[in-house]
């Protein structure tokens, strides 16, 4: 019986990094969660315990903190690319680095109408994300958003589905549609070959996703999902593919008849689980294959 080592990677997961840059009395706060994953010629440690090629995960964590001190973090994509390129360039055995960064946004607390210099509040549960994959000769960038929670109280129907012996769901031509968007957009090509304005792209793609959600008259969350992905591809030529994961945050009409009351689509029970989970991808026909940038795979 032959057994061999399959794909593997290792690194430090979810390094919590907060930086404060002081600009006189005004402080600038960044709050990131950074994960590193290195791959390459790592057979020895797996097969014999020889650690001579294993840059410790502890050192990987330290590198994240040291890099944050040595240079302003900047856009998360640039920070991730700097880290990934460093590991591949400096560790002989390491041929691939995958760096994932989630940025948690804070807003200045308004005091008497003015944003405070150094007091902040967390804005919602939303994060901006990126995963960069670095090889010796090129890199790939997949950016996105987590926890972008949206709801529309009109413009959503769901009906004409098959009814088997277990189907009880009522058809509706007017329901609440709510979800927390997880989106990942993969950039075409090597980031070294083009100057992408990461922050502007993030802002515009987020706006496009929101606008598509708001304006598409929805016959299913699946249709809304595809419309959102398609809208991003139509607006941003540099994006090859958009992956979306949309939990259907069900809002069920409460039966008020025991109380002699009618419920004309006004009072709902917001269920937290179970939830429908609608996932899908919009892909540009001529886009390059994702290759190692396939972040939906474990490795």
Ligand X SMILES: O=c1[nH]c(=O)c2[nH]c(=O)[nH]c2[nH]1
* CA 23 – CA 156 distance, rounded (Å): 47
* CA 186 – CA 176 distance, rounded (Å): 30
Helix ranges (H only) for the chain are: 43-47, 57-70, 76-90, 198-215, 221-235
Contact present, 197 and 141 (Cβ < 8 Å) = no
Could you say which of 45, 57, 95, 281 is catalytic? 57
Q: Is 211 annotated as a binding residue?
A: no
* CA 129 – CA 104 distance, rounded (Å): 9
CB of 102 or CB of 221, closer to ligand X:
221
- For the bound state, the minimum distance from the C-beta of residue 248 to ligand X, rounded and expressed in Å, comes to 5
- For the bound state, the minimum distance from the C-beta of residue 183 to ligand X, rounded and expressed in Å, comes to 17
- For the bound state, the minimum distance from the C-beta of residue 41 to ligand X, rounded and expressed in Å, comes to 46
| Catalytic residue list contains 48 | no
Q: Is 193 annotated as a binding residue?
A: no
| Catalytic residue list contains 152 | no
CB of 65 or CB of 269, closer to ligand X:
269
* CA 125 – CA 129 distance, rounded (Å): 13
- For the bound state, the minimum distance from the C-beta of residue 226 to ligand X, rounded and expressed in Å, comes to 12
Q: Is 90 annotated as a binding residue?
A: no
Q: How is residue 286 annotated by DSSP?
A: T
List contacts with ligand X (CB under 6 A). Answer: 158, 169, 220-222, 248, 276
**In angstroms, how far is the first alpha carbon of the chain from the final one?**
25
> At which residue do the structure tokens 């670095």 appear?
134
Instruction: Provide the sign of the torsion angle of the four alpha carbons 187, 193, 195, 198, taken in this order.
Output: positive
CB of 93 or CB of 151, closer to ligand X:
151
* CA 225 – CA 223 distance, rounded (Å): 5
Could you say which of 100, 250, 251, 295 is catalytic? 250
Helix (H) or strand (E) run with residue 115 in it:
strand 114-135
Closest CA to 253 of 147, 175, 177: 175
CB of 119 or CB of 277, closer to ligand X:
277
CB of 53 or CB of 150, closer to ligand X:
150
* CA 228 – CA 209 distance, rounded (Å): 5
Q: Is 57 annotated as a binding residue?
A: yes
User: From its phi and psi, is residue 189 left (phi > 0), alpha (psi between -120 and 50) or beta?
Assistant: left
Determine the residue with CB nearest ligand X: 221
Q: Is 158 annotated as a binding residue?
A: yes
- For the bound state, the minimum distance from the C-beta of residue 81 to ligand X, rounded and expressed in Å, comes to 38
| Catalytic residue list contains 250 | yes
Bind-site residues: 57-58, 158, 175, 222, 248
Bind-site residues for O2: 57, 248
Query: Residues with catalytic annotation?
Result: 12, 57, 250
Bind-site residues for urate: 57-58, 158, 175, 222, 248
């Amino acid at each position: 019986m032959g057994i061999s080592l399959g794909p593997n990677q290792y690194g430090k997961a979810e390094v919590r990094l907060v930086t404060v840059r002081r600009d006189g009395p005004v402080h600038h706060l960044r709050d990131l969660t950074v994960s590193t994953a290195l791959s390459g010629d790592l057979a020895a440690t797996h097969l014999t315990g020889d650690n001579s090629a294993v840059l410790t995960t502890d050192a990987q964590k330290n590198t994240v903190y040291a890099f944050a001190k040595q240079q302003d973090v900047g856009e998360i994509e640039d920070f991730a690319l700097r880290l990934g390129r460093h590991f591949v360039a400096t560790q002989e055995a390491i041929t691939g680095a995958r760096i994932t960064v989630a940025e948690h946004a804070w807003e200045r607390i308004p005091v008497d109408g003015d944003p405070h210099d150094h007091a902040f509040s967390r804005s919602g549960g939303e994060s901006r994300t990126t995963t960069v994959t670095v090889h010796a000769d090129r890199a790939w960038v997949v950016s996105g958003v987590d926890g972008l929670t949206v709801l529309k109280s009109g413009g959503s129907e769901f009906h004409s589905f098959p009814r088997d012996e277990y189907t009880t769901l009522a058809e509706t031509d007017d329901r609440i549609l709510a979800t927390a968007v997880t989106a990942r957009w993969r950039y075409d090509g090597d980031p070294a070959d083009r100057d992408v304005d990461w922050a502007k792209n993030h802002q515009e793609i987020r706006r496009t996703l929101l606008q598509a959600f708001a304006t598409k008259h929805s016959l299913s969350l699946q249709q809304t999902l595809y419309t959102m992905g398609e809208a991003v591809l139509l607006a941003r030529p540099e994006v090859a593919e958009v992956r979306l994961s949309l939990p259907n945050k069900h809002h069920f009409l409460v039966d008020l008849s025991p109380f002699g009351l009618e419920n004309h689509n006004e009072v709902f029970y917001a269920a937290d689980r179970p939830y429908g989970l609608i996932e899908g991808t919009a892909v540009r026909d001529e886009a390059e294959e994702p290759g190692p940038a396939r972040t939906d795979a474990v490795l």
